[in-house]
Amino acid sequence: MDQTKIRNIAIIAHVDHGKTTLVDRLFEQSGMFQKHEAQTSLLMDSMDIERERGITISSKNGSFCYQDYWINIIDTPGHADFSGQVERVLRMADGALLLVDAQEGPMPQTYFVLKKALDLRLPIVVVINKIDKPAARPDWAVDQVFDLFVQLQASDEALDFPVVFASAKQGYAQDDSHGTGTTMEPLYKKIIADIPAPVGDSQGPLQMLVSSIDYSPFLGRLGIGKITSGSLKTNQDIAVSLRDGTLQPTRISKVYCFVKNEKIPIESAGVGQIVAVAGMDEVTVGVTFTDLHQPIPLPLIEIDPPTISMNFIPNNSPFAGQDGRFLTSRHLAERLKRERLSDVAIVLEELPDRVGFKVSGRGELHLSILIERMRREGYEFQVTKPQVIMIEQNGQTLEPYEELTLDVEDNRKGIVIEKLGQRKGQMINMTLIGGMARLIYHIPTRGLFGFKSEFLTDTKGMGVMTHIFHRYGPYAGILKNRKNGVLIAKESCTTVSFALFNLQARGKLFLPPQVPVYKSQIVGEHSRSNDLVVNPAKGKKLSNMRSAGTDESIILTPPQKMNLEDCIDFINDDEVVEVTPKAIRLRKMCAWTKTQYTGTAKSFPGQ
């Protein structure tokens, strides 16, 4: 392939600013699909969880042909919790498209992904997307992007960025903010004109940094990266420079290029091409495929350290083994080590005091997505409350802080400000725009645990909340995010309507009737600060006498539905989340005896 006709571009943006939809339109209008081929939306979101949540979790590779140019697309996650993906896949790009919502402007995670691109000196084409929205402010968005470039101390060349205005949903782009386009043609032309062709010596020794990992059921692990020097072909003998600096010889068994969103086998590839290579079973992110006789390893990918950790332990509840296929600590260890090979932002350590693993990552969403994927694969285990990772510096304990951005209705900002003050948040800025308030806070990462559900309740579901790691700062002291205790099942039983009806006055219930529960399982949130042992199976006492007051109708309030993230946010240090393929349960870790609960809970008379 002619090196000058290749363009490698990364799509970077804040979450939900339209990256994947834009990629759909670029593929669709490039003519890569024939009339008889089905064209699906969200082409690059191949995971079930991505389609359900509407976010990109793993970076994807694809390509299309426009005129006589071959354009490789790298779709990156927009959420900061998956920033490890962004950091490594940007190494394959020679330029980037920065998408910004025409109404919202640059958001916190726009700052993050743009900083990573500028650090690599990638040329940036700014795409102001969603200009068809009624409240769109495209010219204001361009000014905000320029201010962001200045804030990031971009070079003079970077400040002179080209701009395209687009509506990915409607499928058009244009060179100015007025009027209405018809096709994506202006964006195609900007990509070709402003993104440079890849550089490298096609006659030099082989160099390819593995930036991503894929898996083939027939060939095993595939290393994905951009060839920066030389060439490679099937059955070629090469050397692999491992992360510890050692060289390991191997032979390439298969080479794939990306056509649309599919991998197509090819015989050879040269400089500038992004390929997937099979041949080494234990290939990991950051290794270099290089020449066997003249090895020249590339620098390792530096990844920001994790800020959150959770303990993954085997399931030992009374219901263990009913749903899952992979139950033991060995199964758990194998799966987590496999994840560590493909996600360099994950840090894995064995627990010194019990069976299990301490898993560290970038944030709650990062780890909760891993948990969700594992339970869908058939794993059954328990996780503990997230803990922030403290560091010691100059004799001072430091903890991670987040920059939190909130968009709320002006008349509801008071309660939000009050809640954030209790969580040690410091307001940095507040702006009022058309009846909406944008609040920017610096807050300890611990202060955000459990806040999202409260925030959505306080704003009646209309608030928008985003946050990104800011820096390590002084330890903020003790934080108690959950003020209420829990309702704990007294014994193994099945919940009944009569008992739940009487428990409604004691707090919020998490379970409906006719659900099996076990001793120490959490069935609800207490209305007071202490834990309460209850009997959710207590039935109505029957007699042969009838009276007007004995047959009262039982009206149950619908139970509070808790998803995985809600459960992780809710638990305290002495509680765990039990995760199985079919259920998510909360339970206490404290000791039980045959007669009573020996933790902090009190029995409720009559239950």
CB neighbours of residue 350 within 10 Å: 11
What Å distances lie between residue 89 and 24, 95, 124, 327, 378, CA to CA? 20, 12, 16, 34, 29
Evaluate whether 145 touches 126 at the Cβ level (below 8 Å): yes
- Could you tell me which of 183, 167, 165, 184 has the C-alpha nearest to residue 175? 165
Predicted pLDDT of residue 223: 86
Interval 327-343: pLDDT, tens: 899 999 999 988 887 77
For tokens 């992004």, the residue is: 274
User: Does 312-387 match 207-291 at the fold level?
Assistant: no
| Every domain of the chain and the residues it spans | 3-194, 207-291, 312-387, 391-474, 486-542+552-603
Instruction: List, as one string, the DSSP characters of 244-270.
Output: TS-EEEEE--EEEEEEBTEEEEESEE-
CATH code for residues 207-291: 2.40.30.10
State the number of CA atoms in the 13 A half-sphere of 360 facing the CB: 16
Give the residues of the chain that fall short of pLDDT 50: 35-36, 38, 591-607
Predicted pLDDT of residue 286: 80
Predicted pLDDT of residue 299: 83
- Could you tell me which of 93, 75, 46 has the C-alpha nearest to residue 215? 46
**CATH topology assigned to domain 486-542+552-603:** OB fold (Dihydrolipoamide Acetyltransferase, E2P) (2.40.50)
**CATH topology assigned to domain 3-194:** Rossmann fold (3.40.50)
Instruction: Report the CATH superfamily, name and number, of domain 312-387.
Output: Elongation Factor G (Translational Gtpase), domain 3 (3.30.70.870)
Interval 436-491: pLDDT, tens: 888 999 999 888 888 887 888 888 888 888 887 888 999 888 887 788 899 999 99
Architecture of the domain whose range is 391-474: 2-Layer Sandwich (3.30)
